[in-house]
């Protein structure tokens, strides 16, 4: 009889223990009564250019959702060209409460909304795109509890192409390097390489020129239609570099060391001086494999008149982090991007951000004097 009683007591105890365990570890996912909302501020409008597509336009930030369960909450960032979100694109999924939105993301939504930057079309170049966040727990359709944020409306502008071009005063470099440099026919004014002043009335001109000649000789022309009023060196022999110019009795100018290369050319037609700095270009920054310690070299292509490199980059946010372009592994010539518009600014403290980890092709275009540009494209 005692044995039967002990067995019954053991069974009752086991049942009670099982019941308590189930009660202690059962959770029911419920939507957060506080809701989910964006907490970041936005610009009045976002200027979107294709050359700047890889840059971060905005980092969306929101509060953490509480579904009353001990499991990670997933967040899905959605973008749409219509406020109703009848159709949308998923821009990212993860457990963090922020998401970088690139210029390319916004451009895609803007084009879906019918915007363009062509001044010859009737389509508008400014409008609105929309973002929201979906927070959820659960892994399958029958077991998902989800909650949506309110919709964030963002104003975007696609600057019209005609407004981006500047007509700066120019002079031209003509010489024995035009054919080998990929510009045209040697000593032909129409194929001469332009240098630009910073504004009307200024006489200090600059530009980058691929003087691809073993024994460079060249002159500077007021126009690219003739040799009238040409400037040459004050030396005695062709190919001389003295750094001073004259318009009568001149000889063909040369480079400082008498060799070819990719040069920054500076000319002042009022002071009658000129100078050339030989350059090779690279990228540097904490987004690159070698950080701020050393450059990753770029390669020049005379057919496209651009420098480029393909490499792995890590996500970094401007202005304090990212990359810069610099010449000759030094800081005397360096470019960043002050307003993230794809146009380079000289010696600025604004770096160029990288939106996410990945393999990228970076292109540097110095062929348009004083209007230097770049592009960063994820492969």
Render the burial of 21-46: b for 16+ CB within 10 Å, e for the rest.
eeeeeeeebebbeeebebeeeeeeeb
Residue 25's pLDDT band (cuts 50, 70, 90): very low
Please state the pTM of the whole predicted model. 0.65
Q: What is the pLDDT of residues 234-245, one digit of tens each?
A: 999 999 999 999
pLDDT in tens, 336-368: 998 777 889 999 999 999 989 999 999 999 999
Reduce the DSSP state of residue 204 to 3 states and report it: strand
E strand or H helix that includes residue 146 = strand 145-148
Averaged pLDDT, 184-212: 97
Using CA atoms, how far apart are residues 202 and 196, in angstroms rounded to an integer?
10
Calculate mean pLDDT across residues 87-95. Answer: 93
The string of DSSP letters for 247-308 reads SSS-B-B--TTS--EEEEEEEETTTTEEEEEE--EEEESTTSTTTTTS-EE-EEETTTTEEE
CA distance 49 to 54: 10
What the block records as the tokens of 127 is 């409008």
The residue with tokens 């691929």 is 210
Structure tokens that stand for 214 in this block: 């073993």
Distances (CA, A) of 34 to 66, 78, 95, 96, 355: 8, 21, 19, 18, 30
Condensed to tens digits (0 to 9), the pLDDT of residues 253-312 reads 999 999 999 999 999 999 999 999 999 999 999 999 999 999 999 999 999 999 999 999
DSSP states of 162-194: HHH-----EEEEEETTTTTTTSSSTT-GGGPEE
Q: Are 353 and 56 in contact, with CB atoms under 8 Å apart? A: yes
Give 152-191 pLDDT, tens digit per residue: 999 999 987 644 456 899 999 999 999 999 999 999 999 9
Instruction: Place 9 in a pLDDT band, splitting at 50, 70 and 90.
Output: very low
195: helix, strand or coil = strand
Contact 336, 350 (CB under 8 A): yes
């Amino acid at each position: 009889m005692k044995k039967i009683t002990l067995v019954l007591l053991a069974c009752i105890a086991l049942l009670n223990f099982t019941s308590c365990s189930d009660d202690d570890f059962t959770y029911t996912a419920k939507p957060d009564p506080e809701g989910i909302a964006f907490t970041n501020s936005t610009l009045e409008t976002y200027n979107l250019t294709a050359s700047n597509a890889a840059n971060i336009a905005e980092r969306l930030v929101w509060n953490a959702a509480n579904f009353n369960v001990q499991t990670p909450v997933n967040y899905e960032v959605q973008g749409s060209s219509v406020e109703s979100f009848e159709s949308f694109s998923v821009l990212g999924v993860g457990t963090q409460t922020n998401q970088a939105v690139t210029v390319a993301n916004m451009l895609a939504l803007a084009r879906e909304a019918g915007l363009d930057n062509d001044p010859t079309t009737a389509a508008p170049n400014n409008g609105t795109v929309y973002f929201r966040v979906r927070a959820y727990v659960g892994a399958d359709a029958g077991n998902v509890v989800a909650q949506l944020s309110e919709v964030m409306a963002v104003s975007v502008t696609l600057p019209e192409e005609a407004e981006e071009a500047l007509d700066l005063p120019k002079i031209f470099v003509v010489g024995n390097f035009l054919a080998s440099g990929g510009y045209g026919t040697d000593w032909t004014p129409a194929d001469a390489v332009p240098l630009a002043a910073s504004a009307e009335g200024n006489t200090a001109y600059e530009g980058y020129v691929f003087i691809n000649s073993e024994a460079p000789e060249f002159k500077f022309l007021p126009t690219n239609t003739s040799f009238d009023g040409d400037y040459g060196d004050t030396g005695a022999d062709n190919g001389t570099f003295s750094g001073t110019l004259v318009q009568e009795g001149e000889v063909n100018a040369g480079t400082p060391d008498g060799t070819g290369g990719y040069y920054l050319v500076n000319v002042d037609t009022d002071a009658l001086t000129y100078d050339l700095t030989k350059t090779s270009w690279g990228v540097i920054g904490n987004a690159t494999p070698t950080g701020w310690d050393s450059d990753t070299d770029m390669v020049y292509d005379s057919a496209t008149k651009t420098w480029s490199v393909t490499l792995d980059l890590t996500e970094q946010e401007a202005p304090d982090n990212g990359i810069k372009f610099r010449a000759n592994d030094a800081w005397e010539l360096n470019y960043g991007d002050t307003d993230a518009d794809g146009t380079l600014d000289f010696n600025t403290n604004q770096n160029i951000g990288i939106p996410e980890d990945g393999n990228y092709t970076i292109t540097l275009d110095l062929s348009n004097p004083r209007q230097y540009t770049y592009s960063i494209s994820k492969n």
